[in-house]
Structure 1
Amino acid sequence: MTTTAPRFGWYGDDFTGATDTLAVLAQAGLRSMLFMGVPSASALAAAGPLDAVGIAGAARAMAPEAMRAELAPVGRFFRQIAPTVLHYKVCSTFDSAPHVGNIACAIQTLHPSVDNRWVPILGGQPSLGRYCAFSNLFAAAGTGGAVYRIDRHPTMHRHPVTPMGEADLRLHLAQQGLQGIAALHYPLYEADTSNDAAALPTALGALLSTGPADLPFLPTLLDLTSADQLTSVGRLLWQQAQHARLLAVGPSSVAQALIACWEAHTSQSAPALAPSPAPVFAWAGSLSPITAAQVQAATSYQRIPVDAHRLENDAAYTQATQRAICAGLQQGHHVLAYTGPADGSSSPASGGASAAVAPASAALVARVVQAQVDHGTPLRRIGIAGGDTSSHAVQALQLWGLSYKTTVCPGVTLSRAHSADPSRDGLELMLKGGQMGGTDLFQRLLGAV
């Protein structure tokens, strides 16, 4: 185990979001490592001294019982290494439901690993176009897109698994079983930064003194409408964490807020993304219209459409798809395989795919990587779009950790893979969710933009 307690620990409820937090911390100069599960003593030793320890998981796609089984050992691990702040990292759109990705269930499972009754929940991440005002969440539709209230967002209000039908995050989380949710709204932050630095602590003190005494923890939703508010929010979190170790919930803005209030951090700009020395392989398993537009714009790639249903059920088709991908790579082409239509339309081949498609996709990605090693032309950089596919792919590639390499675009990180397999150690890996990135994302992955 680490010889000194890290300043920050986090669990990402999907792999793509977990790498975003990794980037935020690494760019602040913190020695950070994202592990692919609760790390062994040997993996911790290999990582060296760390200021921030992360675990990438898949709780966002799990039912409550599975979430508790997943998060219980995570909580025990973080209780042992004792980070000052423990962050349960959720998607910036808060898409979750009582039956899947239940955030209340996660809080209930992880809270025994800390000592502070207060559980701050940060709504919004302005750097990604996510804003929370008076507890209501708003989100941009793509990078630089129009901003919608989350229950009217063109994608999130009709998400196939966790549609967002309520914009007030207090009500959204109460539907998942989170009781006694209080709120601190953004006008208090303006007082905190202008003429009354005690405004937020005073308001929090009043909430804590009047909160229900019979609840094991006191959740409080905090607005976030502007990056200017990060310092005030971070100062409040850090002050409370000095009294007792703290569990905080929210997107990567939790880490951003804390970094904004730490005076000793050394901010570092993201290193330039160099052109890949070998052909790039990308897999788009997301059905998001944003990902579809990115596939359509990826003109530097040989694009290969993949039938998701046949991939799941037809071994001969899967082998033929692998051969086609490898042939393109071995001929020196960048290759982008995708299971959704490139024009963003619906199609029988892409709609209604079962939960088995993501692991089938991930297994094919791993086979392509191994086939290129066997051919003597190992891949150096790969990109995966789709949260479930990303999670399964990292597991199929048998990686034990990821460290920060650079940022492809806001919210999308290029990581360095760590593996006991020398052929995969050092692989550059981009993982991205369906809502992340501009239209030129896959072009940027080449290092050519």
Structure 2
Amino acid sequence: MSAPEYAFYGDDFTGATDTLAQLSRAGLRTLLFLGIPDEWRLRHCGELDAIGIAGAARSMAPEAMRAELNAVGARFASLGVKLVHYKVCSTFDSAPQVGSIGVALQTLRAYCANPLRVIVGGQPDLRRYCVFGQLFAASGADERAPVYRIDRHPTMRAHPVTPMHEADLRAHLREQGVKAVTSVDWRALALEAKALSAHVNDALREAPDALLFDVQDAAHLRAIGGVMRERAALAPLLAVGASSVAQAWAHSAALHDHADTSAIGAAQGPVFVLAGSLSPRTAAQIEAANAYVRVRLDPARMTGDAYLAAQIAAIGAELARGHHVLAYTDRTRVEGAASPADNALARACGALLDGVLKRASVRRVGVAGGDTSSFAVRALDAWALSYRATLAPGVALCRLHADDARLDGIELMLKGGQMGDVDLFARLARGT
């Protein structure tokens, strides 16, 4: 097997599936593994252009992150990949003690000899933008939704675990131990390739920890991708950012010409959706999901074995009757129910999903919420995901790969809290 040129680690599962989708749509043969793949597994997967590992670093403390990412970095280095991508949420929400991007950069840089370390600061197709190092994000999927500086964003400024109180990504990362981040602003990205390369060389003379690239549109991504490809040809390069890193890599080689025309048919049988996200967008999607039997989960009781078993039985019974079921954590009762730091609620959601799929025959599943998705999928006895189609910007429908025939081939949608239109869950059931 020839070495894949691109390797990525997703700090949560939902974001990892978006990167899987971007690379697959660019025509790159890509698999997203649910753990570090061994030689036997890779040999049996055939030729791959890109590989990913879906992780949960976004919800980890620094020491746990270092342990996980050292193993990931060593594996990627052993494969001889050109680009190592640490995939973060496009809103960069993180903190020194939870999901620290700084810890990730400092850990993975040891496995990438290139003196250039790239931070891509926006993803325009999700309406995330970086201008003079300041991060901005839209408040909704609607094109008319206003764009806010991230520290004034109505959702991200009040995130329950990692609220964003700083819009300048250089200052934000400095709090996480990345002391020297040099900005390459949008004006430099308008330069011709040779001049931009010289500009990057000048910026590297001070030996910064990383270069932060502004992003406003696809032209900026093409320019950044050109820089990454030029430098990665010399030595393995580390890039930090959202799926825009994959877009930049593809754009720069004119790979991103493959339009996604895959239609998604109606589900063959009942659909199960588990929503652990507390975002207003997910709340609106739950409210609009009239085709589902809705099951409210009490977060204060989810960690109790008897309550969990009763919910699994009730959900399984509805699915056996052929009903679509949407189980969701009651956002009005979450406060004080479970500590975000120990992920007790997310782990309980994982146990719930595993229990439901053991009890009921379901071939299409949706999970909403970054932490929920990470722990839920890790609770299953599966080993990889491949791309199936796109349901909405940032939301992919994937195929689950497992040695267990009961799980193998399940169509799985993982979505972040802010992703998707209001009718997303309805579309998951009825198709596109």
Assess same fold via TM > 0.5: yes
Which of 98, 119, 122 does residue 121 from structure 1 map onto?
Answer: 119
Corresponding residue for residue 375 of structure 1: none
Which of 199, 203, 206 does residue 199 from structure 2 map onto?
Answer: 203
CA distance in 1, matches of 2:77, 2:97: 27
Corresponding residue for residue 110 of structure 1: 108
Q: Within 5 A, what are the aligned runs for 1:71-150?
A: 71-144=69-142, 145-150=145-150
CA distance in 1, matches of 2:426, 2:306: 31
Tell me whether 1:406 sits opposite 2:392 in the alignment: no
Aligned identity (percent) is: 51
CA distance in 2, matches of 1:154, 1:52: 36
Quick one: which amino acid aligns to residue 70 of structure 2? A
CA contact (8 A) 1:122 1:250 kept: yes
Q: Within 5 A, what are the aligned runs for 1:242-261?
A: 242-261=233-252
- Give per-residue Cα distances to partners, 1:144-191, cap 9 Å, x unaligned: 22211000001111111111111000000011110221111002222x
Corresponding residue for residue 225 of structure 1: 216
Tell me whether 1:302 sits opposite 2:302 in the alignment: no
Quick one: which amino acid aligns to residue 205 of structure 1? N
CA contact (8 A) 1:417 1:424 kept: yes
Corresponding residue for residue 309 of structure 2: 319
Change in CA separation of 1:229 and 1:265 when aligned onto 2, cut-off 3 Å: closer
Deviation at residue 316 of structure 1 after TM alignment: 2.7
Quick one: which amino acid aligns to residue 152 of structure 2? R
Quick one: which amino acid aligns to residue 321 of structure 1? Q
- Give per-residue Cα distances to partners, 1:393-431, cap 9 Å, x unaligned: 111111110000111100011110011111101111111
Tell me whether 1:396 sits opposite 2:379 in the alignment: yes
Quick one: which amino acid aligns to residue 84 of structure 2? L
Corresponding residue for residue 42 of structure 1: 40
Give the aligned length.
Answer: 427
TM (normalized to structure 1)?
0.92
Superposed CA RMSD: 1.4
SS at match of 2:43: helix
Deviation at residue 351 of structure 1 after TM alignment: 6.0
Corresponding residue for residue 362 of structure 1: 350
Which of 374, 397, 408 does residue 425 from structure 1 map onto?
Answer: 408
Corresponding residue for residue 160 of structure 1: 160
Corresponding residue for residue 56 of structure 2: 58
TM (normalized to structure 2)?
0.96
Q: Which moved more, 1:237-246 or 1:15-24?
A: 237-246
CA distance in 1, matches of 2:122, 2:101: 15
Quick one: which amino acid aligns to residue 170 of structure 1? R
Tell me whether 1:446 sits opposite 2:425 in the alignment: no
CA contact (8 A) 2:247 2:256 kept: no
Tell me whether 1:434 sits opposite 2:417 in the alignment: yes
CA distance in 1, matches of 2:278, 2:104: 27
Q: Which runs of 5+ in 2 are unaligned?
A: none
Corresponding residue for residue 274 of structure 2: 283
CA distance in 1, matches of 2:379, 2:261: 28
- Give per-residue Cα distances to partners, 1:243-265, cap 9 Å, x unaligned: 21101110000000110011466
Corresponding residue for residue 319 of structure 2: 329
- Give per-residue Cα distances to partners, 1:280-319, cap 9 Å, x unaligned: 0001011111110110011111111111111112x33222
CA distance in 1, matches of 2:137, 2:8: 23
CA distance in 1, matches of 2:218, 2:337: 38
CA distance in 1, matches of 2:255, 2:193: 20
CA contact (8 A) 2:178 2:209 kept: no
CA distance in 2, matches of 1:396, 1:168: 36
Quick one: which amino acid aligns to residue 213 of structure 2? L
